[in-house]
Amino acid sequence: MASGTGAWGGVLPVNCNIQHRTSIENLEKLKVPRNIKIISKSLPYNCKVFINTQEEEGLPQGSCSGPALWNIVANDLLAQNWSDETSIQDFADEFAIITKANTKENIKILSTEAINIFINWADANNNTISPSKYNYILFGRLHAGPRIYWKNEIIKQTHAIKYLGVYLDDKMNWNTHIENQATKAQILHQNFLKRDGRSWGMNYR
pLDDT tens-place string over residues 7-58: 443 344 444 556 667 777 777 777 777 777 777 777 666 555 555 556 566 6
**What is the rounded CA–CA span in Å between residue 184 and residue 197?**
18
**Nearest Cα to Cα of residue 8 among 129, 95, 74:** 95
pLDDT digit string, tens, across residues 190-204: 888 888 777 776 665
Q: Higher model confidence: residue 78 or residue 7?
A: 78
- If DSSP states are collapsed to H, E and C, what string results for the chain? CCCEEEECCCCEEECCCCEHHHHHHHHHHCCCCHHHHHHHHHHHHHCCCCCCCCCCECCCCCCCHHHHHHHHHHHHHHCCCCCCCEEEEEECCEEEEEEEECCHHHHHHHHHHHHHHHHHHHHHCCCCECHHHCEEEEEECCCCCCCEEECCEEEEECCEEEECCEEEECCCCCHHHHHHHHHHHHHHHHHHHHHHHHHCCCCCC
Q: Which domains does the chain have, with CATH numbers?
A: 8-158 (3.30.70)
**Beta bridge mates, 6:** 99, 138
What does the pLDDT read at residue 51? 52
Distance, in Å, from the CA atom of 45 to the CA atom of 69, rounded to the nearest integer, reads 12
pLDDT of residue 11: 41
Listed range (10-14, 24-28, 93-97, 183-187) with the worst mean pLDDT: 10-14
26 Cβ partners below 8 Å, 6+ apart? 72, 73, 75, 76, 125
pTM beyond 0.85:
no
pLDDT digits (tens, 9 = 90+) for 115-171: 999 999 988 888 877 777 778 888 887 778 888 888 888 888 888 888 888 898 888
The mean per-residue pLDDT over the stretch 60-66 comes to 66
Give pLDDT, residue 116. Answer: 93
